[in-house]
Amino acid sequence: MIALKAWAKINLGLKILNKRDDGFHNIETTLTTTNLADFIRIEETDSGIIIDTQGLNMPAEENLCYQAADLFKKKYGVEKGVRINLIKNIPIGGGLGGGSSDAAAVLKGMRELYALNINDEELMELSKDIGLDVPFFIKGGAAYARGKGDELKFFKLPRMSLIIYYPGYSISTKWAYQAYDEFIVASPQPDPEVFLEKDSGKKKNKKERKGFPLANDFEKVIFKHHPDLVDVKTRLLMAGCFLVSLSGSGSCLYTLNDESMRDKALAYLAGIGAQYFEVSTI
């Protein structure tokens, strides 16, 4: 039997650049894993794929763990079956990548279970067929992501202490992108490339570009539909947190704070009966 942890991620800023011809969006964001995790156990069976879940109610075939196992078996000609036990701790629809992380953990676990000589790069390429952010979770850590989110550049990031707030409901990523597109049509935004090339009337070399502010473009639309998140963000900033931001398309907010501000933030969240997680980046 193989036991693994599937780590949650947060987005340190997220910029939506434009909509692509293939229906996806070009984005840029920094991803980092945290020590909030789902727990997965994988064991060999005679045949088939069995998914045992706690904290998740959906048909087995719709579970990304099932899809990952099925893809792995077909790709590498595995005739034996697997039983996958999944215990969910990462909130579903919270922008923390739980489903994608679970799928990545299954791919890595099956590689170990069947003792196959498959490197991470090969698994990352295979995992693109499951979801755009699954490749990131094969390696984990921190990475700058561009394109559809599948162009990754990994780097070292100092450890950070965070608090993740979960409002008790999920937000669909598909809906969030649709809402953002409708927002852009109603309120057209300047082409970001204009600002890259504009500096006191002179063109700026794109190679000189040094990143983007830690802001999440989804907040422009998510906060309109979920004003409760605005209130929580405001209160956490008032408590002294250095940064409060939506992760991905939400619904979770995360805070970046030091020990002097931690108690104030936790006191506020406890006072409103919030569900939250104290985590660190890994």
Strand partners, 255: 163, 244
- Given the residues 9, 73, 108, 233, select the one marked as catalytic: 9
Strands 25-45 and 81-87: antiparallel
Whole-number Cα distances in Å, 198 to 28, 214, 223: 20, 21, 30
- Our answer to whether residue 133 is catalytic in this structure is yes
Q: Identify whether 129 is a catalytic site residue.
A: no
Which residue among the candidates 38, 102, 133, 217 is catalytic per the annotation? 133
Question: Which two tokens mark 112?
Answer: 């170990």
* Spatial separation of the C-alpha atoms in residues 173 and 64, rounded to whole Å: 15
Active-site annotation, residues? 9, 133
